[in-house]
Amino acid sequence: MATSPPLLCLTITTLLVILNQCIAGVNTATTIPPKIGKGYRLISIEESPDGGLVGHLQVKQKNSIYGPDIPLLQLYVKHETEDRLRVHITDAEKQRWEVPYNLLPREQPPPLKQSIGRLRKNPVAQSEYSSSELIFSYKSDPFGFAVKRKSNGETLFDSSSDGSDPYGDLVFKDQYLEISTKLPKEASLYGLGENTQPHGIKLYPNDPYTLYTTDVSAINLNTDLYGSHPVYMDLRNVGGQASSHAVLLLNSNGMDVVYRGDSLTYKVIGGVFDFYFFAGPSPLAVVDQYTALIGRPAPMPYWALGKFPILTLPSIYLIVVLSFRSRIPVHLGFHQCRWGYHNLSVVEDVVENYKKAKIPLDVIWNDDDHMDFHKDFTLNPISYPREKLLAFLDKIHSQGMKYIVLIDPGISVNSTYGVYQRGIANDVFIKYEGKPYLAQVWPGAVNFPDYLNPKTVDWWVDEIKRFHELVPVNGLWIDMNEASNFCSGLCTIPKGKQCPTGTGPGWICCLDCKNITTSRWDDPPYKINASGLQVPIGFKTIATSAVHYNGVLEYDAHSLYGFSETIATHIALQGLEGKRPFILTRSTFVGSGHYAAHWTGDNKATWDDLKYSISTVLNFGIFGVPMVGSDICGFYPAPTEELCNRWIELGAFYPFSRDHANFYSPRQELYQWESVAESARNALGMRYKLLPYLYTLNYEAHMSGAPIARPLFFSFPNLIEVYGLSTQFLLGSSVMVSPVLEEGKSEVKVLFPPGTWYSLFDMTQAIVSKEAHYWTLDAPLHVINVHLYQNTILPMQQGGLVSKEARTTPFSLIVTFQAGAKEGEAKGNLYLDDDELPEMKLGNGYSSYVDFYSSVSDGTVKVWSDVEESKFALENGWTIERVTVLGLEGFGGKFALEVDGIPVVDTSKVEISATEQKFPQELEDGGDKKKSMMVDVTGLELPVGKKFKISWKMGSSG
């Protein structure tokens, strides 16, 4: 659903508030403030029972800027693994808010000391503490710490400060925490989201990076958006050799991160410093280590893809979090949605028109149009009568299609509404002064469920179960969960007038509201750059002095709201049919990728937004949320026909691929223009052929965190030229997507890293780069350039209009070598399973894994496989009918084939052909041109579940 226009450009009232703040001298994120205080000194340090270090820090000189200093801090340092270091700093005497350990399971730091005075002074003699990969070192006065790479002594993080630095020493107050690190000039940083970055994927010095979940449209640049991910990856290149690491500050409070190019400063309005350092050194290793902590990305179905109290959650919550926390779905096919499918017949027509246009479609979505007056878990009896909807679902389910609907967290305050009645009876809502906090969203006055409350989780699970019995949906789309509120402050339902009125925009606040400014939680001393304009942190959301379960303040838990709702929704869906849940969420936090997919929110139908989408998608891969995409053709307003052509060409290769439009925009389904339909058939046709590859990437993401869509530096980390490249990306390690991103262009400038790249749409065409080089390629309206790198084996199928259909077709293997290869090796893999089982793993009898290998040596070409868990593949009867080998010097015949070690004598059905490949530039070696051939082996009937080996003599190309 849309962000309301008042949130797209802030109101005059808000601007006046901002102006008054500026007049009062409030610091902004980009202003360099005076240094605060003299830091802390280390007064004791000793080994902890778990093998870490525990120290205590004492403030050196108190001041009252942003409030009083916390006088005594506890420092805890531990190498949790050989490549992960934790540095935790908190109040030594009082427990403070932290991200709940039952929402994001991890090791607990040691308890606070009851008597600081009895601590032994500095029993740890050395000032360095090391694992096999990282070294932690410190200086005592003023306290500062550094993290170094053991292999080369490179400093990864250094919090010490001197007079020449634009930042000061450690600051730790109740509502203001500050710490900084030096950075070398050659560092390239990525992450710190969610935001729309106009300069591309690399962090840009002096751009604002504010983390605080906010319902602000993605068209707003350099602004805190729907999610909070306080993690960055640092990629450095010294002497041509790259290394990368990552830094996570696990903190859910609002923060500004000031990046100056040679330093980075955190300014946080609460919580603790809980740093995790990940050693890498490759980008893939960094994400592997990061997701090992926060949890692996969820598996997806084939069709998709004072004291802080310790929270206690119901047993079902703990069981699911610990046992099922990585079992989530999403969808690899194509999705169609629109806010404004006013009745079921419109939805039926959309499905039928996709079929008529021969455009693949797996999932049809409803925004809130199916609801009865915008109320969750209801059906509009006129527009979406249950009997007709069930008949429609029976029909599309029989064809392999799926149906997903939206729900918002705001529950309509309505005494006749069963969901609300049961919520009140179970006391599930966030409170303000002992009463459910009142807000306004689409149905009018609402209360917000408190997902930190165990009773709320149980109630939410029950409501989803009730709704699923009403409508057997295949997944849920949870929106507006930052949480979004059309009003601000403390509100009451007006007497004597209807709210909402039923006419005009539904996002205009119609409650009677007053500002809440008396609390330091609603008006903290330091103002983060909220919404890019320093609006009050309670603006258009839940008042930050509202209270959750066990006294937890919204001030602390705000950015966890969507995350906690996602977990509760996952628990509910997991319990329905024992299948992989599908959840799409707008608001995300560290760990959301375990449970849900994400889309980039309300974008605009512009060429700039088309380009920006790539950086956001790539960032979420780094964040451990690999199933991500942007609204294809733009959410609003109307896209041009040319833009929609180019957007579906790109969007077909998003991990999550969905067309979605605004209520007020004209229809933009892909069949609305014949030219767009043609582009969709081409691009989505290729996506559906690549489903085996994409699903295998989903498995790899689940096992190691590896992003599905990746920046080029993941495969070419030593190549400085790709560090800021934000107009191309990789799917996996080897498939490069290079879209047209500018209006009126019929060609595209593409950077090719060294090696041979083969066009996936025409494998006779190849590009050879001896070094990183830009080539200008033809890209007429219906063409997107997609290339496959050398030394790869790519599994494909024949495609179809639904993934269920595509999945039954025979396989082909594309094997690539360096052009004109006489010697070489290639490899690939394939994962297959029953994609609706909760877990994605081998050994359960419902999955198979195949490694593919190929070599060129001594004039012989070999292609073979090694199968693990063959049973599932054999039972499904999958076969490989074609093997295409690219880049050979020639072909000479003498073909041989064996299956499971037994020679196949009759190969009469096998046909072999060779085609000379073409290059836009001459391929030279020692001044002599050489040929490169594409060899096609067809007529094969190789069972995927059996080991095979084929070989032939390469011979001469003539």
Q: Identify the pLDDT of residue 123.
A: 62
Q: Which tens digit of pLDDT belongs to each residue from 826-840?
A: 999 999 999 888 889
Question: What is the spatial distance between Cα 612 and Cα 632, in angstroms, rounded to a whole number?
Answer: 12
pLDDT band at 103 (very low <50, low <70, confident <90, very high): very high
Where are the alpha helices (H) located in 118-265, listed in sequence order? Answer: none
Return d(Cα 19, Cα 13) in angstroms, integer: 10
Decide if 625 contacts 588 (C-beta within 8 A).
Answer: yes
CA distances (Å), origin 516, targets 22, 513, 519, 523, 761: 20, 9, 7, 8, 59
Residue 52: pLDDT above 60?
yes
Contact 821, 758 (CB under 8 A): no
* pLDDT tops 60 at residue 19: no
Distance, CA of 411 to CA of 692 (rounded, Å): 41
Tell me what the mean pLDDT of segment 453-467 comes to: 98
How confident is the model over 257-281, as pLDDT tens digits? 999 999 999 999 999 999 999 999 9
Average pLDDT, the chain: 91
Q: Looking at residue 144, what DSSP letter applies?
A: E
pLDDT tops 90 at residue 794: yes
List alpha helices for 623-668, DSSP H.
641-651
* Band (38; pLDDT cuts 50, 70, 90): very high
- Predicted confidence band at 418 (pLDDT cuts at 50, 70, 90)? very high
Query: What letter does residue 558 receive in the DSSP assignment?
Result: G
Nearest to 443 by CA among 390, 484, 488, 490: 484
Instruction: Check if the beta carbon of residue 169 is closer than 8 Å to that of residue 37.
Output: yes
Paired sense of beta strands 476-478 and 402-407, if any: parallel
CA distance 229 to 248: 8
Interatomic CA distance for residues 948 and 863, integer angstroms: 8
Q: What is the mean pLDDT of residues 497-514?
A: 86
Q: What integer is the mean pLDDT of 741-753?
A: 98
Q: How far apart are CA 592 and CA 295, in angstroms?
A: 9
Spatial CA neighbour of 294 closest among 622, 575, 598: 622
Instruction: Give the model's pLDDT for residue 920.
Output: 76
pLDDT higher than 50, residue 15: no
Quick check: 360 pLDDT over 80? yes
Strand, coil or helix: 550: helix
Tokens of 27: 């610091």
Q: Which parts of 705-844 fold into alpha helices (H)?
A: 803-806
State which H helix or E strand residue 613 sits in. helix 607-622
Average pLDDT over residues 61-70: 96
pLDDT in tens, 580-617: 899 999 999 999 999 999 999 999 999 999 999 999 99
Would you mind telling me the total number of residues written for the chain in this entry? 958
Going from the C-alpha of 862 to that of each of 276, 600, 815, 821, 914, the distances in angstroms are 46, 44, 11, 13, 16
Check whether 326 has a pLDDT greater than 60: no
Q: How far is CA 322 from the centre of its chain?
A: 21
pLDDT digits (tens, 9 = 90+) for 177-190: 999 999 999 899 99
Q: Given this model, what pLDDT does residue 118 score?
A: 47
According to the model, what pLDDT value does residue 894 have? 81
- What pLDDT does residue 114 have? 56
pLDDT at residue 344 greater than cutoff 80: yes
Q: What is the per-residue pLDDT for 580?
A: 86
Q: How confident is the model at residue 4 (pLDDT cuts 50, 70, 90)?
A: very low
pLDDT at position 32, please?
56
Residue 956: its pLDDT value, please?
Answer: 57
Decide: 136 and 77 in contact? Cβ < 8 Å: yes
Mean pLDDT across 903-915: 93
Whether the pLDDT of residue 693 is over 60: the answer is: yes
Active site (catalytic) residues: 479, 482, 602
Q: Which tokens in the block code for residue 388?
A: 């007709």
